[in-house]
Amino acid sequence: MNRSVSVALVGIGGYGESYVKALLDSPADDNFRVVGMVDPMAQRCRRLDEIVGRRHIKVHPDLESLYDASPQIDLVMMATPIHLHAPHTCLALARGSSVLCEKPAGATVEDATRMLEAESRSVGGFAAIGYQWSFSRAIQALKRDVLTGEFGAPGRLKTIACFPRSVQYFQRNDWAGRVRTDDGTPVFDSPVNNATAHYLHNMLYLLGPTRETSATPLSVQAELYRANEIENYDTAAVRVIVEGGAELLFYTTHAVPIAMGPVLCYEFERAKIYYEAETAGGFVARFNDGTVRRYGDPNVDRPVKIWQAIDAVRTGAPLACRVKAAVPHALCVAAAQRSTPVETFPADLITTQGLSGQPMKCVTGLASALVQCYDQGILPAEHQGLAWAIGGKRIELAGDEPSARPAASRLAAVGDGNGNGGGNGHATAAPTAVTTA
């Protein structure tokens, strides 16, 4: 089928501006047409005058207004807060649209499950999750070689990503760093579920048994910490054991003064795969026999998820990362919160430094400690020299099928790290208001 795809964008400020740029700056063709945008705080979009004045694209305050004006929309793109991913996606699917929703799949496993169910009820629609690495040529080529056994069996995959964030980052909206919003809706914002979620998901995705699936987590052990005055954590170390026995190690923090990574090493039976963001060398596989194979950098074609979603509407082409492929990440996030309370770093280690003119909380020696743990393949509590480290318990997920309701029912009641349940009772409605992610 060769036709112009009608597209709408929900969320045009913040990260949504990357979608605005891709859609407005794409070469003129007949592949798609933007029929509307949604944002109750549209004035925060730097290209609003162009959208409304020169492009004559109507910006609506909510999804209902969008659908009143354009009842038939082929594809809705969601760049909205985490806790709105599920209700907005479910509403769009129910109205006959396909969806490209930003990562993660939702705030809870229950969110992801509701999205799966809504997708299964839709007539020909799909719900894709915007983990852009999964859509990239580099990761697709790498996964093909994983699937065909080029590297042999996976052993240990590890990633470290240190992304400094100022105090203002946690004050930019009413849900940053929160466990729940003011009305009780789960959000579980954290580096693992937001800024660096891509890199945990990528390890799961590469080990998935098919192009459209991710590996099933069998157990999760986590350590969660905070330097900032927030409800949830800004620092994490997570160990995941997946089906087949491979070990995934993920280290991430917002509480360091200098950015680092992602840096990763994926160890397989016959090769090791490396990526270092600072070298711009992309993914490189170094085989035990000395052979080197280069796959490129997945960051060079970040908007490709948009074009692939549009093409999928038009042609029915399969997509690499739909909701099912994102559910294992949601399972890991939920289990990590069950593994341990969120611990506050000792006050004498927390300093205030500057980041782009804004104050930020940093933890003395944290970057070095996480690098040492990454190098040794251990969690901080397993390090002999980190007095502040407190180990988490191992959460067993054996028998939890990522796409099944039992997984959601067991894990949706995740605790917030302070002994409080995390049920999704406040998130069953489908609100149409949207704020920018």
CA 405 to CA 21: how far, in whole Å? 38
Structural tokens at position 84: 């709105």
The model's confidence at residue 417, banded by pLDDT at 50, 70 and 90, is: very low
Answer whether the bond into residue 402 is a cis peptide, omega within 30°.
no
What pLDDT is attached to residue 3?
Answer: 76
Question: Residue holding tokens 């730097």?
Answer: 46
Structural tokens at position 380: 């901080």
What pLDDT is attached to residue 437?
Answer: 55
DSSP β-bridge partners for residue 359? 354
pTM (2 d.p.): 0.91
pLDDT, tens only, 49-104: 999 999 999 999 999 999 999 999 999 999 999 999 999 999 999 999 999 999 99
Does one domain contain both 124 and 253? no
What pLDDT is attached to residue 278?
Answer: 72
Q: Is the pLDDT of residue 396 over 50?
A: yes
What pLDDT is attached to residue 277?
Answer: 75
Q: What is the mean pLDDT of residues 267-276?
A: 96
Phi, psi angles (nearest 5°) of residue 241 = -105, 125
Q: Are 61 and 11 in contact (CB under 8 A)?
A: no
Does one domain contain both 114 and 175? no
Most confident of 25-34, 55-64, 392-401: 55-64
Does one domain contain both 215 and 82? no
CATH number at residue 228: 3.30.360.10
Q: Are 236 and 105 in contact (CB under 8 A)?
A: no
CA 271 to CA 152: how far, in whole Å? 8
Q: Is residue 307 part of a domain?
A: no
User: What does the mean pLDDT of the chain come to?
Assistant: 91
Q: What is the mean pLDDT of residues 268-285?
A: 90
Q: Are 346 and 366 in contact (CB under 8 A)?
A: no
The model's confidence at residue 399, banded by pLDDT at 50, 70 and 90, is: low
Q: What is the mean pLDDT of residues 31-47?
A: 95
Does one domain contain both 89 and 128? yes
**Is the sign of the CA dihedral 85, 11, 434, 178 positive or negative?**
positive
Indicate the number of domains in the chain. 2
pLDDT, tens only, 303-340: 999 999 999 999 999 999 999 999 999 999 999 999 99
**Cα end-to-end span (Å), the chain:** 34
CATH number at residue 114: 3.40.50.720
